[in-house]
Each structure stands twice: as C-alpha cells, then as structure tokens.
Structure 1
Amino acid sequence: MRLSYGMKLEQTQKLIMTPELRQAIMVLQLSSMDLAQYVENALLENPLLEVSEEEVEDKPQSDKHKDDFAQEWCDYLSECGQIDRSFDRAWAEHEEKEQYNLEHFVPQVPTLQEHLYLQLRLVLSKPKDIEIGEFLIGNINDRGYLNISLKDASLISGYRQQDLERVLTIIQSLDPPGIGARDLKECLLIQLEQRGQRTPVIEKIVDCHLNDIANGNLLKIAASLGLTVQEVQQQADLIKSLDPIPGRNFAHPGDNRYITPDVVVEKVNDEYVIIVNDVAVPRLMINSNYKLLINQKNNCDSGTVEFIQNKMKSALWLIRSIEQRRLTLYRVVQCIVDYQREFLDKGIKYLKPLNLKHIAELADMHESTVSRAIANKYIQTPQGLFELKFFFTSGVENVAAGKMVATETIKQFIKEMVESEDPYEPYSDQQICEMLTTKGINIARRTVAKYRKEIGIPPVRQRKRYR
C-alpha cells in the first residue's frame, strides 16, 4: 500500500467562541446581584452606556394659578417686613446633611469584641488591667475562644503571665457564658460554674467522656463512673444544654450577606405568576451624544470613529445579553413551575424527580443553556426560598403508586418518621428502610443512612434516651 500526499478544499461549520458570545454566556450564569455589579463595572468602562431613568412628570399647574401664588407670597413677605433669609440658607444646608437614610433604622448587632469591650470597662478600673483585657479580647476568635496561650501572650505583650491569667478570669465571667475559654472542656465548665451546677460527677464526665456523650455511649459512662444509666442521661442532657460556641450569636465582619431571589413566584387567582427580579440591575441605554458622533463621521478622525463603533457594538451586545438572560430565565422557570405545580400547592412530599434534559425539551433549549440559567440563582415560592438547582433531583420508583418519588420527598418521609418515634425505642436504619418499603419505596439500608446524615439526623444510638 502506497502513501500519498495531496491537498483538497473542504467546507465545515463550527462554533467560534467570540468575546461577545462568551459575555452572553457569562451574563446568563450571573445572579441578579452579581449582574448588577457587572453592569456597574460596564458603565465605568464603556462611555456609550448610560442608565435609563424614567422621568415622572408632575401635573403642570396653570399659569394663572402660579401667578396668583407668586403674588400672594410677595404680599406675605411685604407684610412680614424684614425676613432673616439666613434661616432659609441654614435650613437648606440642614436638609442636605440630614437626608433620611434607611440604614439608620436598621438595628446594629454588635460584634463579640465590641460586646466584651463595653463590659470590660464596667468591671475594671485600673488602666493597666483594661489594657491587658483589651489585648486578650483582641485574641478571642469569632467562636468565643482564646486563640493564644498565656505564655505566648506574655512574650508578645510584655505583661506578666499571672496578670494575664487574673484578667482572663474576669473576662470569663462576662457575657456570653463560656467566653474566653481555651478549649471546649473549659468552655463547658465555665458555664456550669456560672449556673451553679458544677459537680464532681459532671466535671469528670466533661473531662473524660465528651466523645462518649457525642456517640451516645451512656452505658459505657455509667459503667466507668458507677452510675445508673438514668443518672448519666440527666448529666448528658445538662451538658447538651450548654453552648459550645458562645460567640455564635454576635455579628462577624463581612457577615451581612442576604439572599436576594432572582425569581419570585406568586399565586394569583389559582394561577402562578412569575416575576424575574432584576430591579437591582440598572436599565441600560446608548448615550445619545455618541449616537450623534457616529452620524457625523466626517467630523471625527478614523481612530475616534473606530473606538466609538467598537464600544457601540459592545454596549448593544450587553443590552441584548441582559434581555436574553431575562427571557431565558423566565422560560426555564415557567417550565419548572408547570412541572412542579403539586409541590408549589402542597409541599415537599409532592416534589417530582426532574433532570435538565426534561426541562430542556419543554423549553426547547439545550441542556447547557438550562444549566447556566439555573446556576447561582434563587427562587422565592409559596413554599419558601430555594436554589433553582433544588428542583432538579433524582428519584426512586414508588412501586405502590407506579411513579417516581423525588429524593427530597424520601428525606421528608425519614424526617417525619424520626420525629414521631419513641425516644426510648428509636428506629434503626433497617426499620426505617422497612417502613419505607410499606409505602412502596424500595431503597437499601445504606441509602437510608446516607439520606439521614444529609438531613442532620444522628444515628439511633445517639437518639436513644433512657428512662
């Protein structure tokens, strides 16, 4: 067989990822808040873009009415005599400075450090002790624990270790209970001390058997300490009532994050109305001055014309991309709402299994487009706030009903079974598996264990209580 070389022409079609197409894909994936930030950046970078503001025109007054009002005002001033016009200027300046800011009406949650600093100045009077206290508070982390040893603190600050220990003891008496502890055991013991419930027995359990309590090994603790299992149960309940993270209820820097739904679904007259929530995204338009420049090409050099044309192309593409995002998101959500109507009406038990392919077929789109449309987005429904990805869930066949059951529905069944169980005889994973089988849901015991862990339910040994 002979090898030969040759040349031939061939026409092929392929998609080229242009910068504009790449931008459209990225815009589709952005949440409404991220899109708003993206548009703000685009406004800074592209001079042809500007925000479209709808002007609300007041109802014009008649000329006669304005003339009459002006004359009445002049008459009033003449009757009053000398008017201190400086008051008007002062009031105008005051109004400019004192514009109502809604943020002033939002209650400010103090940080843990601020809360401790305030208390520190109430219980300490010596400047040196206050300095030591402020140093120690500065080394308490957001969980409420001291994250530096007193030896290292002494080396860094120059304060004597015994002075640090003395002030730390005072800090540990402040609110919240357990603050300033060096480890979990000390945190729990501080709280027990403040409650007046620190006994030798519970101190021994905290010191040696915290892992056993976490794992539900109460029989082991009872045998080790020579107690009845009921006595251990009482001590375990007391320990579980303590807070292992005393700093959790205070504001942390950067914690003011809120979820803004990208889509809102509301029921109106037995029909679901879909609203794409893009009010935070500025409405864009092309700057009219640059439009005139393009129409007057003869008055501009070639470089300026090319610059304006490129920016015009980029601006128009961004405006189209944002509008296409809105239409695509609306269409995808509309298909989800139609398919999951029972869930919206009745709740989690009626959630149906769903995949991207099915919605893509309903919406007449590619799967990748649907995937990008639901990425990073939340939906507000009558059943609550969910990620759009929540509606895309696998399922298990329900033999009794002859249809598929969503994974989230099975988790809800497991949750309800555990909530209704006898705490002294809780259900094992195998028992839950058998109970699901009676509902026509055939899944393995290990699958039950997996779902149970995912919804935060501990194993049977940790749920069991003793009389």
Structure 2
Amino acid sequence: MKAGLNQSTQLKQELKINPRLYQAMDLLYMPLLDLQQHLKQELLNNPFLDMVEPDDEDEEEGTEEPAAEQEQQEEQKEKDDEIDWEEILLDGFDTGGRREEHEEKEYYEPVTVDTRDLGDHLRDQITLLDLNPRQLMLADEFLGNINEDGYLDCPVEEIVASINDVVRASAEERDLDPDEAPVFTEAEANEMLRIVQSLDPPGVGARNLRECLMLQLRDAGLEHSVPYRLVRDCFDELIAHRWSEISKRFGIAPSDVQRAADEIAKLDPKPGLLYSAGTDNYIIPDLIVDKIDQRYHVFLNDANLPRLKLSKAYQEIARDKKKFDGESKEFISSKLNSANWMIQAIEQRRQTMLKVMNYIVDRQRDFFEKGVQFLKPLTLREVAEVINMHESTVSRVTNEKFVQTPRGVLPLKFFFSSGLSTTDGEDVSARGIKDQIQKLVQGEDSKNPLTDQAIVNILKKGGVNIARRTVAKYRDQLGVLSARMRKRV
C-alpha cells in the first residue's frame, strides 16, 4: 500500500457538558459556609449582581407611603444610581481608563491565626536547659524527628548519621579534613534522647508504645510498681488480656493483674496530641427540622446567606446598546447572563435540598419520634427515584451537609444506611442494629460478656435476622473488643 496524505469528512456525536452545569454541581456540593464565601466573591466580581437589602424586602411587601410620593422617590433614587454607576462603568471600559478602587481590590479569605504546636512546646523547654551549642544542635535534630503523636519517628542511629553528614559538609566548606570533623557519637545521642524523654508531656520522645507507657509510669513515680513490671516484662501478654498467664508468671492474683491493667489503661498512648495544632471545625447546619403542631417542618438555614438580585442601575445601562460595542458589549452580555444564571442556580439548589430533606423526614419519622433504633434503611437511589433526580445529584446534596433536628445536629449521611430484614417482613437500618449491639455490650455482665453468637440469639428474639459474622463486623466498626478481651476477673 502506498503511503500518503488524504482528507475525509466524518460525522460523529459527542457529549459535552456545559461549564455552567459543572458550576451548578459545585453549588450543590458546597456546605453553607463555603457557599456564603462563594456568593460574596461573585458579588465582587459581577457588577450585575446586587444584594437584596431589608429595605427592598419591605418595599416588595408594600408600605403605607402614598403611591405617588413613593414612585417619585424611587425614580429619583434610580436616576442618582444611574448617574453614579454609568460613570463608573464607562470609565472602566474606556481605553486607558481606570476602574474605581473598589473594583481593583482583591478578595482575601479570612484565615485562622497561627497556633503553637508540640514542637514549639518542646523547644521552649530546651531553651530553659543548661545546654551548650553542640547539645542544642543535637536536640534540634531530635525534635525535628518527633511526630505530632509525640513519638520519635527515626532511629537514633539514623539521627546520628544525618547530623554527622551536616558536620562533615560544614568542615569541607571551611577547607578542613572531614575525617577530623567533630562528629557526634552514639553515646551523645543516647544522652540527648534521655533529656528529650524527660520533657513535658510525659512519654514524649518514646520509640514505641511500650516505652511511652514506661516513661509515663516512671514520671508518676511508679517505677517499682506492678503496672510498670507488667509493661516492661510481659507487654504482649498484657495486650492480649492473658490475665491467668500473667498471674502464674508473677505469682500474683488475677484480680491484681486486672487492677494493674486498669491503671495502665488510664495512661495516654499519644501524649503529643495534647499540644497538636489542630484546626477548629465549626458546624453550621444547612437545614433545620422542627416539630410544629405535631408535624415536622423543614427549613433552610440560609438567613446569613446573601440574597441576590439583578442590579437595576446596571440593567438600565445595558439597555442603551449604542454606548457599547466590541469588548464592552461582550463583557456586559457575559456578566448579565452569568448573573441571571447564578440567581436561578441558587434557587434550584434551595429547592433540591428541600425536596431531599422533606423525603428523608417522611421516611425516617419513626426515628424522630422514637430514636435511632427505629431508623429505617435508606439509599441514595431510593431518594433519587422519588424526587425524580439523578443519584449523583442526591449524593452532592447530602455530602458534608448537616441538619439541626430535635435529636441533635446530624450529618445528612446519617440517615442513609443498608438494611436487614425482620421476622415480620419489615426492614431495619444497620445503624439501628449497631445501636442495639452497643447497648447490649454496655449492659452486659463484665465477668460473663456476651459472645457474638449470644448477641445474634438476642437480636433474633427481637425479630432481627442477622448472621454472626455481621455482628462481628458491626462490633469492630463500633470499636468493641471481642468477648474474651472484654472479660474481667
């Protein structure tokens, strides 16, 4: 076959999503605080958008002011606005013109102030110690390898090797023999580790959990106690709750082993988190469910959300098409269409959220009346089919959204879970089953804890068909240990 170039025509269909559709999906996804910031940004960027002021709402509802006088005032106000805004708008479009200062300013997001963390806390203590420059250099290397849990992430040997590389490189820069550089010894590093482990909080600088607990017991003056001996000499058996084996090994009563284990359980396995620089997470509910006259009503918690309208002044300017052409005309058309679309998209978001939450309230009425054990199974697909929307739309509406209810502030995802069948043919939510398992474990006899099979039998008596492996899975998700691990002597 002869190689060459040729041209041909072809027809094909392609599915392209409108960029505004992406924006609409983003608006559905945004929690209340994010949406509030987004709308404020839009108000700054789009001159055709304006905020609905309380005075505007009063005017819409009607006032007792004489109609002629009110109309005259409105015309005067619009005239003033038109003069001011036209000057700003035209100056911005003229070649070489200058926009007003308020249009040039950038929008800055408010940020939280910097907070102190564990490293700052430890360095403050190091500066109070009588250490020479060489020791301070080694101490800084150790502190740089302590994670936010308070543990030393790097072996001592690697810390020594790392800092010695720096020492040798410094010697080369000063034209000295690297082999004669004053490198750090492992003995110096071990002594510095001892100093770091003596700092507050107790347990900091430990290389593993066992050492962390021993440091805390030593700091409390319990170095010769039974708990210290158990952690030091039989840590694996202690974790496995082998009370009888430990009792025989140390010649003490099983009850004494149990009491020692209880004291160890009070220690902090992650002491560094006390000084971690965690961010503050504030939850503002997007929706409110309130019971009024024996009926549940759904409201949007959007009182602080900017309400948008089209700017009358800019609309009047846009109508005079003779003043604008080229880039000016394109700018006006783009911004006006964007403003109209934004107002419609916000309203669509409101209606979608209300539809989803109203169905959830109708479906989960027993939960609101009686509690979590009466929560019914619910899926995104079920909601999507009822409100005639796509499942992905419902997922965006419920993601990272919270609702204030008579039973507390809950994430919308709380109401969605798989279900199990009961003996009478009804369905019960997996979340409700977990709550029952939690209460059964809390009320059990600690000397004879309930096994997974015993929990299965109790639930079956209550009409719930469930497998033992499902109980074990739910128990693990709740963070509940097995019956053998929960048993006390």
Q: Name the TM-score class by shorter chain.
A: 0.7 to 0.9
Instruction: Tell me how far 1:256 sits from its aligned partner.
Output: 2.2
Alignment map for 1:251-262 (pairs within 5 Å):
251-252=276-277, 255-262=279-286
Q: Which residue of 2 aligns with 1:418?
A: 441
DSSP-derived class of the 1:248 partner = helix
Q: Which residue of 2 aligns with 1:441?
A: 464
Counterpart contact for 2:115–2:277, Cα < 8 Å: no
Q: Which residue of 1 aligns with 2:194?
A: 169
Q: Which residue of 2 aligns with 1:350?
A: 374
Instruction: Tell me how far 1:55 sits from its aligned partner.
Output: 6.0
Q: Which residue of 1 aligns with 2:99?
A: none
Q: 2 CA distance for matches of 1:346 and 1:115? A: 48
Alignment map for 1:264-275 (pairs within 5 Å):
264-275=288-299
2:215 pairs with one of 183, 190, 194? 190
Q: 1 CA distance for matches of 2:191 and 2:452? A: 51
Instruction: Tell me how far 1:388 sits from its aligned partner.
Output: 0.9
Q: 2 CA distance for matches of 1:53 and 1:464? A: 65
Cα deviation code 1:14-51 (max 9, x no counterpart): 98632223322332222223323433454455444454
Alignment map for 1:59-138 (pairs within 5 Å):
110-122=116-128, 124-126=129-131, 128=133, 133-138=139-144
Q: Which consecutive unaligned segments of at least 5 residues does structure 2 have?
A: 1-12, 59-109, 168-182
1:234 pairs with one of 232, 256, 259? 259
DSSP-derived class of the 2:271 partner = coil
Instruction: Tell me how far 1:270 sits from its aligned partner.
Output: 3.8
1:277 aligns with 2:277: no
Q: Which residue of 2 aligns with 1:82?
A: none
Instruction: Tell me how far 1:110 sits from its aligned partner.
Output: 4.5
Q: 2 CA distance for matches of 1:232 and 1:47? A: 74
Counterpart contact for 1:429–1:445, Cα < 8 Å: yes
Instruction: Tell me how far 1:433 sits from its aligned partner.
Output: 0.4
TM-score w.r.t. length of structure 2: 0.73
Cα deviation code 1:365-421 (max 9, x no counterpart): 454433332223122222222221221222222225x52221111111111110111
Instruction: Tell me how far 1:275 sits from its aligned partner.
Output: 2.7
DSSP-derived class of the 2:146 partner = coil
Q: Which residue of 1 aligns with 2:272?
A: 247
1:376 pairs with one of 400, 420, 435? 400
Q: Which residue of 1 aligns with 2:412?
A: 388
Shift in alpha-carbon separation, 1:410–1:245, aligned structure 2, 3 A = same
Counterpart contact for 1:393–1:406, Cα < 8 Å: yes
Alignment map for 1:134-145 (pairs within 5 Å):
134-145=140-151
Counterpart contact for 1:263–1:274, Cα < 8 Å: yes
Q: Which residue of 2 aligns with 1:26?
A: 26
Q: 2 CA distance for matches of 1:302 and 1:110? A: 55
2:431 pairs with one of 408, 417, 422? 408
Instruction: Tell me how far 1:458 sits from its aligned partner.
Output: 0.9
Alignment map for 1:175-214 (pairs within 5 Å):
175-199=200-224, 202-203=227-228, 205-207=230-232, 209-214=234-239
Cα deviation code 1:314-356 (max 9, x no counterpart): 2211221111101110121122122222212332122122233
Which amino acid letter does the alignment assign opposite residue 22 of structure 2? Answer: R
Counterpart contact for 2:222–2:228, Cα < 8 Å: no
Which amino acid letter does the alignment assign opposite residue 389 of structure 1? Answer: K
1:339 pairs with one of 363, 366, 376? 363
Counterpart contact for 2:201–2:271, Cα < 8 Å: yes
Counterpart contact for 1:112–1:250, Cα < 8 Å: yes
Q: Which residue of 1 aligns with 2:315?
A: 291
DSSP-derived class of the 2:274 partner = coil
Which amino acid letter does the alignment assign opposite residue 299 of structure 2? Answer: I
Counterpart contact for 1:109–1:250, Cα < 8 Å: no
Shift in alpha-carbon separation, 1:22–1:232, aligned structure 2, 3 A = same
Percent identity, aligned pairs only, is: 39
1:397 aligns with 2:403: no
Higher mean displacement: 151-160 or 341-350: 151-160
Q: 2 CA distance for matches of 1:355 and 1:126? A: 63
Counterpart contact for 2:231–2:238, Cα < 8 Å: no
1:316 aligns with 2:322: no
Q: 1 CA distance for matches of 2:137 and 2:405? A: 52
Which amino acid letter does the alignment assign opposite residue 29 of structure 1? Answer: Y
Cα deviation code 1:124-146 (max 9, x no counterpart): 24563566545533432210112
Q: Which consecutive unaligned segments of at least 5 residues does structure 1 have?
A: 1-11, 58-102
